[in-house]
Amino acid sequence: MTKQDSQSEHIRLRILTLLESRPGDYFSGEEIGKALGVSRSAVWKQINRLRRSGYRIHSAPNKGYCIEKQENVYNDLEITKRLKTKACVIFLEKTDSTNNTVKALAQEGCEQGTVAVALEQTAGKGRLGRYWKSSKGKGIWLSYCLRPSFSVAELGLVTLAGACAVCRLLKEEGFDAGIKWPNDILIGGKKVCGILTETGFEETRVEYVVVGIGLNVFQDTEDFGPELKDFATSLRLEKDKDYDMASLASALIDYLYEYISLLEKGEGEKIIECWKSYSKTLGKTIYTTVGSRKEWVTALDIRRDGALIVKREDGTVTPIISGEIWLGQDG
Ligand code: BT5
């Protein structure tokens, strides 16, 4: 976002705040311009942009502008308005993958805290070339850019930080959510959220890390299709209420910022502690690939680099760096 873009966003936010302070009441262009220290034509221009973002703003000759009260508007301003931390939110109606969007922005030099949020992803990505179903308006599809100051050895903690942020949000929404190593967030044994972390290197130095989070919100069982319906869930399926996407997205960004800050302060062990408190994996029997073959093991602990420490049937203890696990009967 250029300086000019961010200035005009700031003006839009202030116009919005003013109009929303008395929905249904008219404010003249002159009055708004005076309050903000900008010209009437600048007000008019930003009002039109607000309209294009979905706000119902009426105008009447000699009266000015008035906004209709609206619920659940989901766009960059609504997310930014609710943020407690600083982030630069870029909202897209449609993109292939918000991770790709942020990677491109990172390569152009965007700052830490740049976040792409999309209403729809046409090629949402999971790990290892898998897909992430991201239908229009059905969930929160966002990616956050980091410019890591912490060591490469701590990179594994970024995904864990993302998982902690999601679990905290879900707990506050009243869900008993838990983490299945390494990146699945489950409610009642079904996947409600996935996290994909991608890293960009410049020779051996980490240039950027992109944390992509996909959180299912409004899907019905049919939305998931035959392939996913038995394994996936959404907040709406778990608890039928009216979720406000902008509030969910802004809280998620705030929590992500908080957990990432712990990493930057060298307090990675707090992320591990938090991850353990939400874990649905530790202490459980799991089925996974150890070395080159699949076997039943017991998940013992999580290492600082994010590896899962497991105990094999022959009693040996070994780390699993990446891969897939399946929870056993006790999971
Ligand atoms: C993940 O991969 O779980 C990471 C998903 C990350 C998605 C976010 S959305 C914003 C950002 N932009 C992107 O392009 N990606 C990130 P993995 O552990 O590999 O799981 C992928 C598997 O989950 C698929 O093979 C399906 O079986 C299943 N799946 C696909 N879409 C799903 C959905 N919406 N809900 C639950 N499960 C899903």
- From 132, 133, 210, 222, give the residue whose CB has the most ligand 1 atoms within 8 Å, as the site to mutate: 132
CA atoms of 275 and 309, how far apart (whole Å): 14
pLDDT of residue 2: 74
Domain 285-327 top-level CATH class: mainly beta
pLDDT of residue 331: 63
* Residues 77 and 51 sit within 8 Å (Cβ to Cβ): no
CA atoms of 312 and 297, how far apart (whole Å): 5
Ligand 1 atom with least separation from CA of 134: 34
Task: Tell me which residue of 160, 162, 166 sits closest to 251, measured CA to CA.
Answer: 166
Domain regions of the chain by residue span: 3-67, 76-278, 285-327
Is the CATH code 3.40.50.150 the one for domain 76-278? Answer: no
- Ligand 1 pocket member 195 (CB < 6 A): yes
Q: How far away, in angstroms, is 281 Cα from ligand 1 center?
A: 19
Task: Tell me which residue of 193, 172, 173, 198 sits closest to 183, measured CA to CA.
Answer: 193
Ligand 1 atom with least separation from CA of 234: 35
- Ligand 1 pocket member 162 (CB < 6 A): no
Q: What is the pTM of this model?
A: 0.94
Report the run of H or E that residue 44 belongs to, with start and end: helix 40-52
Which CB contacts under 8 angstroms, 24+ apart, belong to 225-229?
225/133, 228/133
CATH architecture of residue range(s) 3-67: Orthogonal Bundle (1.10)
For 162, counting Cβ atoms within 10 Å of its Cβ (0-12 exposed, 13-18 middle, 19+ buried), the class is: buried
Task: Tell me which residue of 69, 61, 89 sits closest to 16, measured CA to CA.
Answer: 69
pLDDT in tens, the chain (331 residues): 777 778 889 999 999 999 999 999 999 999 999 999 999 999 999 999 999 988 999 999 999 999 999 989 999 999 999 999 999 999 999 999 999 999 999 999 999 999 999 999 999 999 999 999 999 999 999 999 999 988 888 898 999 999 999 999 999 999 999 999 988 999 999 999 999 999 999 888 899 999 999 999 999 999 999 999 999 999 999 999 999 999 999 999 999 999 999 999 999 999 999 999 999 999 999 999 888 889 999 999 999 888 999 999 999 999 998 888 998 876 6
- Ligand 1 pocket member 212 (CB < 6 A): yes
Partner residues linked to 299 by β-bridges: 310
* Residues 161 and 268 sit within 8 Å (Cβ to Cβ): no
Partner residues linked to 116 by β-bridges: 90, 143
Task: Tell me which residue of 74, 60, 81 sits closest to 15, measured CA to CA.
Answer: 81
- Closest Cα to atom 21, ligand 1: which residue? 126
- Ligand 1 pocket member 101 (CB < 6 A): no
- Ligand 1 pocket member 233 (CB < 6 A): no
Q: Which amino acid does the sequence have at 30?
A: E
Tokens of 121: 């992803």
CA atoms of 159 and 116, how far apart (whole Å): 17
For 187, counting Cβ atoms within 10 Å of its Cβ (0-12 exposed, 13-18 middle, 19+ buried), the class is: buried
